[in-house]
Structure 1
């Protein structure tokens, strides 16, 4: 189920039909552990070149952080004037490209239309890169140990969530 939610094309889904499950201590699973994000990771089977290129782009991009007290801009004029490439919404924990950022990304990757379905993989990698750079904060949301492993920090307890 979790891997199927990560695929871009439905042909890549691997899950068979649903059956049923019996869960003991469901309150613990649904309430206590609901705030623990599950991240599927492991050895990648594809080159990391696209991740690196997207991160290279994200490093050059200018962003604006919007807090709950800020008024969101209804038009793109302010972003164009200030050259803002993406907006980070702290409350929603999202990063969204502005029209300026879309043009910059299209030029960087040499594509005509970033929203074209054939560019979905590039768009996904860019969105992950700007989210990693703009939303996730080192030593707050995650730490990197001496082995170079990334460990998520529980936002409620401050404890490291290994595994």
Structure 2
């Protein structure tokens, strides 16, 4: 009886680890989509309202897409030291707190080098380029999440069952 309970616990543990990994893949896709949405809001504010970047960041920290608010909150806090550090440095350090792959983070860092430095048209172009890159990464992440959910879910159960069978 103890072996059966142990086997069930092993299967459950491996199944749970597969579900956690699949959840991480879905969270990455949500995070990238939220960043794209936040950048769209930023683009509209820069182009239509000609709002200053620090004001936009504060607004996004409070009312931006949920999965991107933490980034903008951190950026809003660190922007207080704008005189001591350049905006691009502050932006880059905050991008480092996001759980992004190298190419995704580089797209965001590239945007940080343009924000607040140039006119509205140039900032619009930089934001649009970054959005296009992040949208393609988000689409790829959604595909990976769909495939990964099945893969990691099935793999977790299979490994758990194999290990349980070996132990029984």
TM-score range, shorter chain: under 0.3
Q: Which has the higher helix share?
A: 2
Larger of the two Rg values belongs to structure:
2
Q: Which has the higher contact order (CA 8 A, sep 6+)?
A: 2
Alignment TM-score, normalising by the size of structure 2: 0.22
Name the one with the larger strand percent.
1
Q: TM-score, normalised by structure 1?
A: 0.23
